[in-house]
Homo-oligomer: A and B are copies of this chain.
Amino acid sequence: MLAHAETAALRRALEIAADPAVPLGPNPRVGCVLLDAHGAVIAEGHHRGAGTPHAEIDALSRASVSVAGATALVTLEPCAHHGRTGPCADALLEAGVARVVVARRDPNPLATGGVETLRAAGIDVELDVPEDLAAAAGLLNRGWEHGLQHDRPLVTAKTALTLDGRVAAADGSSRWITGEEARSEVHDLRATCDVVLIGAGTARIDQPSLTARRPDGTLLPHQPLRVVMGTGDIPPLPAPAGAGDTLLLRTHDPSAALAELFAHGRRHVLLEGGPTVTGAFLRAGLVDELIVHLAPTLLGAGPPGVGDLGITTISERLDLDLVEVAPRGCDLRLTLRLRTA
């Protein structure tokens, strides 16, 4: 059980861990808050990307009073391994911390063990944190965790569909299928991913800037890498000031594309492709999550949202689990996961 001040401090640790100035990618985002015996904050720290101090070390270095007897609240289990920095579990021990609250165990087999190290040294380690904070700690690094388990980035496919499954009218016009709320949400989604990926067709037809913007048009702090895949002619993407870098992947193979992005340290791909690219990823079983903004409108004709999946009869259907349904203005947002057999 957490004291009230501890719950608040852990919430704060999650907040600072999610600092949009910290690059996403192959390192987890972590926050740490140190509390004295009275529940007052001694120091806060967070990890700022590969090669920089871990959150615990950052917090310890900012403490202007003794940390002896303090409680450390960390969003991820302190590491027990010697990486580019020394083990954080040892650093907490040396500083004299008396209690450590851990929101999430480290799923990285190379780094885990911090909890055991601390407990062996007599430190009070608390793993039972409020459910919402545990969930937030998991979400914070879900691309990174997915990479550890699957050796490829997490893929979230996003599409805006009419009720009759179309992404554009017969003449190709599609602005806009969905309302402002749904469109604004896509920008927030881009800001939580480290890649936004489209196919050459979408690049040619829509010429999207693929930036993450606020409703007023200004850029959000984090901009994803903008990736176009395909082997044909790809026009340059519009490049407004502050937009993410652009990468062309000369392949039609989703698996090859993901392998290359993973090697570049990318961990969460937002797939905003048209029917062909989305269909190719689905057919390859490489979509982990599907977000559909469903507009209560009909077109009766026009390109479908999902291209050929190689399915010819009903028994071959591709079933998903509906995880969440939420209204977004006039539209509905459906979140679905592919069933893993």
Contacts and interface: CB of A to CB of B under 8 A. Distances in A.
A171 interface: yes
Given A282-B298, A325-B325, A336-B296, A163 B320 contact: yes
B163 A317 contact: no
In the complex this chain forms, how many copies of it are found? Answer: 2
A305 to B, nearest CB: 6
Contact of A308 (B279, B300, B334): B300
Contacts of A176: 314
Interface string A134-166: 000000000000000000000000000111111
Contact of A164 (B169, B304, B325): B304
Given A297-B319, A298-B320, A325-B325, A292 B332 contact: no
Given A313-B170, A316-B169, A307 B298 contact: no
B309 A173 contact: no
A312 interface: yes
A169 B312 contact: yes
B165 A313 contact: no
A318 B332 CA distance: 17
A294 to B, nearest CB: 8
Nearest to A287: B298
Given A161-B164, A161-B165, A165-B166, A174 B297 contact: no
A83 interface: no
A82 to B, nearest CB: 46
A265 to B, nearest CB: 31
A180 interface: no
A242 to B, nearest CB: 29
B164 A165 contact: yes
Contact of A162 (B165, B171, B307): B165
Contact of A314 (B177, B282, B321, B334): B177
A317 B301 contact: no
A163 B279 contact: no
B292 A319 contact: no
B163 A311 contact: no
Contact of A173 (B163, B170, B297, B314): B314
A16 interface: no
Contacts of A4: none
Contacts of A322: 296, 327, 330, 332
- 9 cross-chain pairs, A with B, having the tightest CB-CB distances, nearest first: A165-B165, A300-B309, A173-B314, A164-B165, A298-B318, A296-B322, A164-B306, A169-B314, A296-B320
Interface of A: 161-166, 168-171, 173-177, 279, 282-283, 292, 294, 296-301, 304-322, 325, 327, 330, 332, 334, 336
13 contacts: A162-B317, A163-B306, A163-B320, A163-B334, A164-B304, A170-B311, A173-B313, A175-B314, A279-B300, A296-B322, A296-B336, A301-B311, A322-B330
